[in-house]
Amino acid sequence: MTIITPTFANESLLKDAAFINGEWVKSTAEYFEVTDPATGAVIRSLPDQPLEVVDEAIDVAFEAFKSFKLTAPRQRATWLRKIFSLMMENIDDLAKILSWENGKPLAEAKGEIKYAASFFEWFSEEAPRIYGTAITPGIEGNRAFTRREPIGVCGIICPWNFPSAMIARKAAAALAAGCTVVIKPDSQTPLSALGLAHLVQEAGIPPGVFNIVLSHSKTPEFGLKLCESTKVRKVSFTGSTAVGKILMKQSASTMKKLSLELGGNAPFIVFDDADLDKAVEQAIACKFRGMGQTCVCANRFYVQRSIHDQFAVKLAEKVEKFVIGHGLDNGVTHGPMINPKSIEKVEAHVKDAVEKGAKTVLEGGRLPKLGPAFYAPTVLSHVPQTADVASQETFGPLCAIIPFETAEEVVGYANASELGLASYVFSKNVDTLYGVSEALETGMVACNTGLFSDATVPFGGVKESGYGREGSLHGLDDYTVIKTTIIGNVPKYL
């Protein structure tokens, strides 16, 4: 197995320390290793910080908030715009870091950096437009107005599958509103976060406003600290529903505001009047971004019975053309899973579906010659609705195609889940698109497209996929509170 070490134009982006109060903090007795998921080679050793570091970062952010909340919105906009510019200037290096620690192909990593940067651009434009309202109360002589104020210190807990974008989507909104942040990146992919911190510092954001703490062995304890601290007024988390529920319980004692973007089980519905080739193309783009390790990727393919077999064959033909390998190798279209253990659930879902009558259209499986974290995608047809994949999130490269007859039937199938993040509908009939999209119990419905994530549109789910919205004009809501001021007994001069 060849060990790949990329070269960087800006070596200063590759850090090996936490970032607190504008300083790079490394002193600790313990370290954890960040490895290349494709080869298992160690990229960097980072400090596995003690628990008291979280208190230190919270205190620093709390003090910084006192002055940062008073900065002019236009000044915050200037800082955010500078971060956007620096990210675009360093996009090649940032993408290499992301691909190296996460495994996704370089082109896909570069796409994530662009997406991440777009949130700093978007919220740089939203920062000066945090408006209040003027109200005429029912009580004669009274007047009222509202203003939206920054909520305070925000704890941000991020996953490994989008190590740059998830931080940017949260932190950009927080900074735009005038909040300060304490960020805990996933210990499998912390280098992207640290590279971003370097650019935040270079952009001139004041010390203490943007902080990153690091831990591998004490991740749950770090989260508990953020949830129970009275100085942290909001926690934003992207990850599993199970962990989201834990954080929700832990935050109850302080009545903390939460934004939770949790698990998904996205249905991808194709009606027989859809443009079949376009549906297959979008299915590939949707399902295999990050090798199926995304919360909004299609988990269940529902295809109307008359075109079910044709869809399955066309999809398998496309998947067979994938070039699987190290994300930094030229020509590679799809990389490894994040770790070998992540393959186990894919295998379990394949085995269960086949035992329940599913047919194998394209047999996937482990690719040990490439490395322990590599898995070739599997395509199954005639999957029964009773299969585990229909009710559980696979989070991997399994295409499970389930036939259906009517719109009523497929809506019932799609809604038979406690999760409700994203869904997809393909049809040329506007009535079908509109009616089905209204009936689906998900926070987002994409019609005739498999890719919809954009800084300009709200992102979030319903049911056990969480609550709160990120991005768009609604993205600042979760980082602000509404203060009402009433002025009574206003005199009349007429």
Beta-carbon-side half-sphere exposure of residue 370 (alpha carbons within 13 Å): 23
- Out of 3.40.605.10, 3.20.20.70, 3.40.190.80, 3.90.1010.10, the CATH code matching 11-262+467-481 is 3.40.605.10
pLDDT at 3: 82
pLDDT at 27: 76
- 3-class secondary-structure state, position 302: strand
Distance CA(311)–CA(361), nearest Å, equals 11
* φ and ψ at residue 463, rounded to 5 degrees: 55, -135
> Known catalytic residues?
261
pLDDT at 2: 72
- Taking domain 266-454, whether its CATH number is 2.40.420.20 is answered by no
pLDDT at 1: 58
- Domain-by-domain residue ranges, the chain? 11-262+467-481, 266-454
CB atoms within 10 A of CB 95: 26
pLDDT at 4: 85
pLDDT in tens, the chain (494 residues): 578 899 999 999 999 999 999 999 987 789 999 999 999 999 999 999 999 999 999 999 999 999 999 999 999 999 999 999 999 999 999 999 999 999 999 999 999 999 999 999 999 999 999 999 999 999 999 999 999 999 999 999 999 999 999 999 999 999 999 999 999 999 999 999 999 999 999 999 999 999 999 999 999 999 999 999 999 999 999 999 999 999 999 999 999 999 999 999 999 999 999 999 999 999 999 999 999 999 999 999 999 999 999 999 999 999 999 999 999 999 999 999 999 999 999 999 999 999 999 999 999 999 999 999 999 999 999 999 999 999 999 999 999 999 999 999 999 999 999 999 999 999 999 999 999 999 999 999 999 999 999 999 999 999 999 999 999 999 999 999 999 999 999 999 98
Report the relative pairing of strands 180-184 and 153-157 from DSSP bridges. parallel
- 3-class secondary-structure state, position 295: coil
